Chains A and B, each alone.
Chain A
Amino acid sequence: MDSLTQKIRELASSILKEGTVDMVMGFAEGTLPMTSKPYMARTPEQADKFIWDSSCTMNLANYITGRKEKIGVIAKGCDSRNIVNHIVENKISRDQLYIIGVPCSGMTDKNRPDHLRDNCLTCTHKNPVIYDVLAAELIEEQKIEAPFADVKAIEAMEPNAKWSYFQDLLKNCIRCYACRNACPLCYCPKCFVDESGPQWVGKGQNETDIQTFHFLRAFHCAGRCTDCGACESACPMDIHVRAFTRKLNKDALDLFGWEAGLDMTKRPPLDTFNPDDPDDFIK
């Protein structure tokens, strides 16, 4: 067993023993080799199930939404940013959380276990932004020359080429909503796609309905997405769903100088008004 897994188990079991928290959220071994699943330990013995490896792709902030207990949560860089989002959006209070920060060197692509995921390659927040205790030393953040090269490549296309790119991107979508369910931002009690009165969007495999789902789901993440990649890791059809949210992240950075989930004291840009907000789109 590697030292990080050992350390996480020790920290988790000690806070459970001391009664600091009612449960600890982390990862346990999945049902298939090289996979992991979210796991909630309520006793110090259960803490021995925790693992830490490069398959811990899911975002644990997804599971703390609206919980009432005191929770210990194991957080890599992106999880910690989503925890900040949750605190800012009043989905959980900081006092309820005991965050075990894990500096993350990237998670692997589920289809290419010798490669890092795309979003990990461009990640500039490997270290957790908030934590109560660290399971390992902080690591050096990487500097990315052109963080949004992929978005710029699409931006440079003609409108029709863009449209065919997205048509092609979504052609395999089976609307299982795994991307939505894995996403820590998607916590609405009732999602617009599940609503039946009014029915905002058709529920079948119609191409336009699929496009509408992806377009609107992405837009709900504007200024909130941390590019944690849980959506893509969860997708059984290997759809590059981040193609949408990446554009929104780039806009949030360009227009508002904003990266989500870095500061608990700041309101997200789409949630506040500032007289300096860009307004050249209004005639």
Chain B
Amino acid sequence: MANLFEHMGMEKERLQFSWISSAEAGKFVNVATEVANSVEALGPIDKFVKKID
């Protein structure tokens, strides 16, 4: 799905996958920070956004 998403022009950083056990608090923090940072670097999304006037 990520591949098709990217194929349509979404930046691949916007859809990320991870497997984290409930015991892996450290990994969760790292992944969440990484995801937040990479999305923040891309800025707000303008594709696939429904505009309602």
Q: With A218-B4, A244-B4, A247-B4 in contact, do A162 and B9 touch (Cβ < 8 Å)?
A: yes
Asked if A165 CB lies within 8 Å of chain B CBs, one says yes
CA distance A100 to B31 in the complex (A): 55
Interface 1/0s, chain A 134-162, versus B by CB < 8 A? 00000000000000000100110101111
List B contacts of A159 (CB < 8 A).
6, 9-11
Interface 1/0s, chain B 11-22, versus A by CB < 8 A? 100001111000
List B contacts of A248 (CB < 8 A).
4
Write the nearest CB–CB distance from B46 to chain A, whole angstroms.
Answer: 9
CA distance A34 to B18 in the complex (A): 53
Q: Looking at chain A, what size class is its interface with the partner chain?
A: 20 to 34
Which residues B1-53 have CB closer than 8 A to chain A?
1-11, 16-19, 31, 34, 47-51
Residue in A157, A244, A251, A282 whose beta carbon sits within 8 Å of that of B19 in the complex: A282
> Which has the most chain A C-beta neighbours within 10 Å: B7, B19, B47?
B7
Write the nearest CB–CB distance from B36 to chain A, whole angstroms.
Answer: 14
When A and B form their complex, what is the total count of cross-chain residue pairs whose Cβ atoms lie within 8 Å? 59
Q: Tell me the interface secondary structure of chain B in the complex.
A: loop
List B contacts of A200 (CB < 8 A).
none
CA distance A208 to B45 in the complex (A): 13
List B contacts of A166 (CB < 8 A).
8-9
CA distance A99 to B49 in the complex (A): 46
CA distance A188 to B1 in the complex (A): 20
Write the nearest CB–CB distance from A58 to chain B, whole angstroms.
Answer: 26
Q: With A215-B4, A251-B3, A283-B16 in contact, do A208 and B11 touch (Cβ < 8 Å)?
A: no
Pair A212/B48 contact, Cβ less than 8 Å:
yes
CA distance A157 to B8 in the complex (A): 10
CA distance A160 to B45 in the complex (A): 11
Residue in B5, B7, B11, B17 whose beta carbon sits within 8 Å of that of A283 in the complex: B17
Which residues A149-206 have CB closer than 8 A to chain B?
151, 154-155, 157, 159-166, 202, 206
Residue in A208, A219, A282 whose beta carbon sits within 8 Å of that of B48 in the complex: A208
4 A-B pairs with least C-beta separation: A163-B9, A162-B9, A208-B50, A283-B18
Question: What is B's interface to A at a CB cutoff of 8 Å?
Answer: 1-11, 16-19, 31, 34, 47-51
